[in-house]
Amino acid sequence: MTEATEDSPQAAPPRDWDVKAMPVMVTAKAIEMVRIALKEEGLLDTHGLRVAVQGGGCSGLQYALDFAKESRPGDFVYEIDGMKVYIDLASRKFLEGTKVDYVSGLQGNGFKFDNPNAQRSCGCGHSFS
């Protein structure tokens, strides 16, 4: 079930990706890996995923993933498969339309960001402008 809120009532899950209701799509594999990490940290039943953008990296901005227990003022909060996702207001404008996936490959395992707003990305895939 998907809940789209800015601390507002529950909404029906979008069939096609509704960027306004769910600014960042988190794939099933990424959710699975976040849940594994939450379980390892003993936080599975109390925390969700915070997706953010911070200054830094080789292209000027970098993606950040963290665990969050509750929303902060101005956060956009929604649920994907029962997991809360938190995005702060400043990050939302950079992240809208982004898909977060978890990939495994020859160069290792990790979260991958597919951001249509990025004009330029670095080779590591964690920094953009």
Q: Nearest to residue 95, comparing CAs of 71, 73, 64?
A: 64
- If you average pLDDT over each of 18-22, 116-120, 125-129, which comes out highest? 18-22
Q: Nearest to residue 78, comparing CAs of 99, 51, 54?
A: 51
Q: What is the pLDDT of residue 61?
A: 85
Burial of 35 (0-12, 13-18, 19+ CB in 10 A): middle
Task: Name the more confident of 129 and 110.
Answer: 110
Q: pLDDT at residue 4 above 50? A: no
pTM of the model: 0.77
Q: Which domains does the chain have, with CATH numbers?
A: 22-120 (2.60.300.12)
Query: What sign for the dihedral angle of Cα 103, 108, 109, 112?
Result: negative
Task: Please compute the mean of the pLDDT values over residues 40-68 and round it to a whole number.
Answer: 89
Using one digit for the tens of pLDDT, what is the confidence trace for 74-96? 999 999 999 999 999 999 999 99
